[in-house]
Amino acid sequence: MKRLMIVPLPWQKRIYQLQQEAPRPKRIICPREVENRPKYYGREFHGIISREQADEILAGVEGAYILRESQRQPGCYTLALRFGNQTLNYRLFYDGKHFVGEKRFESIHDLVTDGLITLYIETKASEYISKMTTNPIYEHIGYATLLREKVSRRLSRTKNESRKASVTSEENTPVEKITSLVRRAALTQNDNHFNYEKAHNFKVHTFRGPHWCEYCANFMWGLIAQGVRCSDCGLNVHKQCSKYVPNDCQPDLKRIKRVYCCDLTTLVKAHNTQRPMVVDSCIREIEARGLKSEGLYRVSGFTEHIEDVKMAFDRDGDKADISASIYPDINIIAGALKLYFRDLPIPVITYDTYSKFIEAAKISNPDERLEAIHEVLMLLPAAHYETLRYLMIHLKKVTLHEKENFMNAENLGIVFGPTLMRPPEDSTLATLNDMRYQKLIVQILIENEDVLF
């Protein structure tokens, strides 16, 4: 493994300093008791007054604010805020929290504080903000050897520990936190890493305490919802920076709460495996003792026992015991494998490729149909392609024992068609119309797995 040059993180302080300089909110209390004041507003509510009256009340006090009811639209409320020597008026809403835009606040004071910070920063540094994404640190920064080795040690344990394994922090280490950037650098250089491309799963996040964007190195300003965090790897960036982050998410095991119902690519990258361990474990068990089982994959196992297997994988990961001593009925293991595929949020044959597969199945000429299916297979995400390839090799083995198990490629297509592919829209009619083509696609994949893959 190459050693990375240690370079201090070049966090930019300009935006942070501007937030410290931003005007502080000053609540202007109404000197009289206002009738019919909404219970979620305080004494900063001045009742029905005009814009001109609000301007007079706030004149000369930067950061001052009041709430008023609109003269033109009774029952509608406005935040009047003094900033930049002028009074700004914002339509104010309440649905359990206060808001004038996307962000929602517990109190009016927090809303005004956040608004003043944003207004001040955008006024003082609009040009700077517009250029923040042009020179990112994301691809160029070096990382400390200590951090990289710390993550690499965790990776080396991945195949031997349960899915609950997490990064341990040793006492007396000079570094207390491993950022997602450092994890990404370490994982990228790990020889055993399966480099499937994966987009980040960004969600709006409220950061407690100062935080800097891990893409542009600038401060993430505001009181709440200052940026977005990847729920799979923990990368923290500005919302505007998230558009430029490459599809290189390296999921962290401690963030993956379960095996079933988890995105396929997320799961394999978190566990650093080619395929989901559920697929490998179940197929290995079925091929060891169940290939000649009559009605394999068609006969159902007991639902509660299948749920037990699911819970075992969610709890223990690749240490889950699905041996014959625990589950003598192989149909339980087959059922657990089918359930895993059904529970995927994005099917093995993805929503994006679904219609292309259906159109390919409708081609009457066998050679042209095979070529069309092969072309669509190339559009699948790498982890999905590899999982489908491995499953088809397995199902081909199942058909070789057709005399004992009575399961040929057509029968398996009936079982796995709707399991591996679902229409993007949740339409019963579309599902019924496509069922024969779903069956045909899987049947062709099984019969021609040596050619198609």
What's the pLDDT at 179? 53
Residue 77: pLDDT over 60: yes
pLDDT digits (tens, 9 = 90+) for 325-379: 999 999 999 999 999 999 999 999 999 999 999 999 999 999 999 999 999 999 9
What's the pLDDT at 10? 54
What's the pLDDT at 63? 96
Rounded to an integer, what distance in angstroms lies between the CA atom of residue 372 and that of residue 333? 33
Rounded to an integer, what distance in angstroms lies between the CA atom of residue 11 and that of residue 214? 9
Binned at pLDDT 50, 70 and 90, residue 194 comes out as: low
What average pLDDT score do residues 218-234 get?
92
With a CB cutoff of 8 Å and minimum separation 6, the contacts of 391 are: 279, 283, 348, 416, 420
What's the pLDDT at 147? 34
Residue 242: pLDDT over 80: yes
What average pLDDT score do residues 220-233 get?
92
What average pLDDT score do residues 60-88 get?
93
DSSP 448: T
What's the predicted TM-score (pTM) here?
Answer: 0.66
Rounded to an integer, what distance in angstroms lies between the CA atom of residue 162 and that of residue 170? 20
Sheet holding 236-237, edge to edge: 202-205, 227-230, 236-237
Residue 430: pLDDT over 80: no
**Of 453, 386, 389, 422, nearest in space to 197 by CA:** 386
Mean pLDDT: which of 90-104, 190-204, 247-261 is highest? Answer: 90-104
Residue 18: pLDDT over 60: yes
Could you tell me whether strands 64-69 and 45-48 are parallel, antiparallel, or unpaired per DSSP bridges? parallel
**Of 102, 121, 99, 119, nearest in space to 111 by CA:** 99
pLDDT digits (tens, 9 = 90+) for 208-225: 888 899 998 899 999 899
Q: Long-range CB contacts (< 8 A, 24+ apart) of 41-48? A: 41/67, 41/77, 41/108, 42/108, 44/108, 45/69, 48/74
What's the pLDDT at 352? 95
Rounded to an integer, what distance in angstroms lies between the CA atom of residue 397 and that of residue 409? 10
What average pLDDT score do residues 378-383 get?
94
Residue 130, SS3?
helix
What average pLDDT score do residues 99-121 get?
95
pLDDT digits (tens, 9 = 90+) for 153-190: 444 443 344 333 333 333 333 333 445 554 444 444 44
